[in-house]
Structure 1
Amino acid sequence: MHLLEILRFRPVPAAAVYFGLTRRCPLHCRHCSTESLMDSEQFPAKMFLRFADTFTEHNRPELTLMSGGEALLRPGLVRNIADRARAVGSRSYVLSGLYFAQKPRIPKAVRAAIEAVDHFAASTDRFHEEEVPRAAVFRVLHELLDAGKDVSLQITGEGPDDPYLADITAEVRREFDDRVPMLVVPLSPVGRAREWMDQHPQASYPATAAPCSLACWPVIGFNGQVTSCGNQDVMDGKVPLPAHLFLGHIARDDWETIRRRTLESPMVGAVRTYGPEYLAERFGGLSSCDGYCQTCWKLSTTPGVKEGVKQLTLLPSTIAMRQLVEQVSVDSGPLGFARRFGIAAYADLVTLGDGARRDLAVTG
């Protein structure tokens, strides 16, 4: 499964589910969004397996994605979830920081987990390279490519002018002869990066509709809580959990329930269609000055918004608008997503790899 096939589903509501299997990680990256340590929280595997067992052939996510912390600290759990997903027709993905890359061989249990998933993504950037050298990352990717595994790199940088990004992407292209696709995303002041990264205040301006495609996929937190938002501050409880973003808990809810709530929640649907800033200004009379996500977090407690969204949902035009927004997002293709949520100057790198698959990317 190529990276393009994963990104193609990104704007489709409930097309995938994201498992946060553990916060634990042996690395100490200075930008870590989850602020992971080896003694961070980790909940029983049976809770995650119970939820995966509720997938059926006729009601399952198209994609089952796993991350952490470091998901491959739990290789048996990764393998078991991937096996359950495949049994009902769902494809799987795991993202790793490659903590094991400096060993001469990939540990047997980790290798079995990687073999079980349909796509393996490695995270690297200048902060990861302080923990895991670039040469070690390349060695692992070569080994996996030689074995026929679909792989990609997720690279974090500080903007289009970041010299690190120019260096790493050029070297990856040379080293792997354009066989490894790359998703290049901007560094955010979240987790450990908040301590040292400059945070510029947001300017106030009239809100326009700006749909949030990131509200499409339910995200399972380390504790089993499911939200329609993957922002780490929400996942960590650093901001009060907005009621409209809460979808349930995998210890008691099944996939059918989570999927239904994802698709039928009026507030989540409105955020996907119009974006939080437009809703806050139209129904709450608030101008957006705190930021896109910060505005969303306040929607549940902003007087007038919930009632306004409820009335909006009753309008016949709303269904047509939702369908139109989703179709436009789908039609923009993987490149459209990479340009909007990644660093646009590097968006075309998601197409590297199997040339026969590049027709999945709509250049727009």
Structure 2
Amino acid sequence: MMNLHLGRRACMHLLEMLRARPIPGSAVYLGLTRRCPLTCRHCSTNSLLGSEEHDADLFLGFAGTFTEEDHPEFVLMSGGEALLRPRLVRDIARRVRTAGTRSYLVSGMFFARKGKIPPLLREAIDEVDHFAASLDVFHEEEVPRSAVLDVLSLLADEGKDVSLQLVGMSEDDPYLAEATADVRDRLSDRVPMLVGLVGPTGRAAEWMPDRRTLTHLPLAATVDPCGVAAWPIVTFDGTVIACCNQAVVDQGRNAPEHLKLGHSATDSWQTIRSRTRTSATLRAVRTLGSRMVSQEAGISPPADQCAACYELSATSPRQKAVELVERPGFPAMELGVQHVLASGGAVGFVRQYGSKRYADLVTLGYRPEEQPCAV
């Protein structure tokens, strides 16, 4: 079996990464750029070719703080279009591998329109441990599905771990039924698919109604652990946020105080991981849910968990969060919630935060007897 520290690529099925999703600090996102050559109508980051892009060392320098003794299991690179910075992708993948971290890259596949992978992009793709492509009805307006699948087929034939990210308008969207069936046929069930639903963020907010209930209700909150406050994200300007909700990411330095963990220019991975794991507010939200924390603080919370979370930067709920985590039974409850979330596995996580109908597609191509492996 290969040692990751020898500098060669390791196998990394999508399932392995998703299984770690509930574990605080087990991975970190890097938003390498907001720039993108595509103009998809649903783009959650509202990216354009002229969008913001910051110094590469905000990301490469931060990756350089990973050590063999203290590093995330996974680093996920995205944009915008991260492959507009192929040298940065390549260098990050190489650097984190020396610490024992595996790398994941997602692309909108703009280059596939020309029927080939340019050499510099190919070098970046070869360096990462897992390559994911975005595919949906909006991307297909700009990049043909056949071109995307041709690239993925080529990479899979060479032994590369690849996957697809798809989104649809609803569980019953005929596009999802047709596209997933086509992908399974074209790629012979070798490639896993992570299927989600379009939300009213970014450009989609211009035409998609927000169906959340934001009114404050006098209803008793129930325990509803947050499963997406476990992996920090280094946003486009280097601000590190505890939540990957795009509405929060877009605020950067202006995000709610309890969701800001620091800045990649001044804080190491070790500092960010410690803050992720020890913040009383984050621990309470991951274990009880934001609505329960608000109610414990004497606040009538919004019915929507994300909206309720925004209000937790006020003094009273943050003080209440400290009291909650210091209660004698809280650590056992915290571990119990993590165990329950982890026991649901990758499929359980996708059913909760993505598509219930297509959640099982994340298992395609997984062969336990071959994981982990080397190529």
Matches within 5 A, 1:163-202: 163-202=174-213
**1:122 aligns to what SS in structure 2?**
strand
TM-score w.r.t. length of structure 2: 0.92
Partner of 2:3: none
Query: Does residue 318 of structure 1 match 2:336?
Result: no
Give 1:201 deviation, angstroms: 4.5
Unaligned runs of 5+ in 2: 1-11
Partner of 1:331: 343
Partner of 2:75: 64
CA distance in 2, matches of 1:172, 1:23: 28
TM-score w.r.t. length of structure 1: 0.95
Partner of 1:228: 242
CA distance in 1, matches of 2:210, 2:324: 35
Contact map agreement 1:351 1:358 (CA 8 A) in 2: no
CA distance in 1, matches of 2:371, 2:94: 29
Partner of 1:120: 131
**Which of the numbers 287, 299, 305 marks the counterpart of 1:285?**
299
What are the Cα deviations for residues 266-310 of structure 1, in whole angstroms up to 9, with x where unaligned?
001111111111111221331323x22111011112x63112111
Unaligned runs of 5+ in 1: none
Contact map agreement 2:239 2:253 (CA 8 A) in 1: no
CA distance in 2, matches of 1:104, 1:359: 31
* Cα root mean square deviation, aligned: 1.7
Deviates more, 1:272-281 or 1:1-10: 272-281
Contact map agreement 1:207 1:288 (CA 8 A) in 2: no
Contact map agreement 1:211 1:272 (CA 8 A) in 2: yes
**2:29 aligns to what SS in structure 1?**
strand
Question: What residue identity is the alignment partner of 1:28?
Answer: T
CA distance in 1, matches of 2:243, 2:127: 27
Deviates more, 1:89-98 or 1:309-318: 309-318
Provide closer, same or farther for how the CA distance between residues 59 and 231 of structure 1 changes in structure 2, counting only shifts above 3 A: same
CA distance in 2, matches of 1:356, 1:246: 37
Contact map agreement 1:70 1:96 (CA 8 A) in 2: yes
What are the Cα deviations for residues 19-72 of structure 1, in whole angstroms up to 9, with x where unaligned?
000000000000001100111110111221111110000000000110000001
**Which of the numbers 215, 223, 228 marks the counterpart of 2:229?**
215
Matches within 5 A, 1:69-84: 69-84=80-95
CA distance in 2, matches of 1:250, 1:222: 10
Matches within 5 A, 1:1-364: 1-202=12-213, 204=217, 205-237=219-251, 240-289=254-303, 291-301=304-314, 304-356=316-368
CA distance in 1, matches of 2:115, 2:324: 59
CA distance in 2, matches of 1:327, 1:358: 25
What are the Cα deviations for residues 189-245 of structure 1, in whole angstroms up to 9, with x where unaligned?
000000101222517443211111110001010000001011112111299511110
Provide closer, same or farther for how the CA distance between residues 102 and 357 of structure 1 changes in structure 2, counting only shifts above 3 A: farther
Number of equivalent positions:
358
Contact map agreement 2:15 2:366 (CA 8 A) in 1: no
Give 1:355 deviation, angstroms: 3.4
Provide closer, same or farther for how the CA distance between residues 239 and 82 of structure 1 changes in structure 2, counting only shifts above 3 A: closer
**Paired-residue identity, %:** 52
**1:233 aligns to what SS in structure 2?**
helix
